[in-house]
Amino acid sequence: MINIRRYNSKLLNKPGVLYCGRGRTIEDLGLGNPFSHKPGIARFRVKTLAESLDCYQAWLHKLLKAYQKQQTRKLEGWERAYLRRVIKLAKDIDDGVVTDLMCFCIDLENYQPDDSKPYKCHTQILYEIALKIQ
């Protein structure tokens, strides 16, 4: 389980909290979703929030598959960099270093993946992928 927190600048330096949004440029993806339905600095523009989450999930599964098959050289450089951050996140969650993921979307205490409910935020998908890496 993990907590998903709505962005609060007071939490940025709190131990265990990791900001999972984009940086200020298209190159600074951080752990943000590269797909967005809103104007801004996302790498890819889509039409709806649901589409951005679907695209993000499919893309992360592509990265996970490349990692599991040891075929990461086939990924683009920015994708390999993102995957490295996801692998580090998985380790930090497993080690208890990260207890909260922070984004601008939602607040969820003690989040557990649940396939029966639609995603509301990319951090839910990010956490599920991190669990599959552990």
Domain ranges for the chain, please list them: 2-133
pLDDT at 27: 63
Q: Under DSSP, is residue 47 helix (H, G, I), strand (E, B) or coil?
A: coil
Query: Over the stretch 27-77, which tens digit does the pLDDT of each residue have?
Result: 667 899 999 998 887 889 999 999 999 999 999 999 999 999 999 999 999
Question: How much is the average pLDDT of 103-109?
Answer: 93
Q: Of 27, 54, 47, give the one whose Cα is nearest residue 124.
A: 54
C-alpha span between 65 and 68 (Å, rounded): 5
Pairwise pLDDT comparison (117 vs 25), residue with the higher score: 117
Token readout for 88 is 């580090």
C-alpha span between 105 and 121 (Å, rounded): 6
C-alpha span between 6 and 101 (Å, rounded): 9
Question: How much is the average pLDDT of 79-91?
Answer: 96
pLDDT at 125: 97
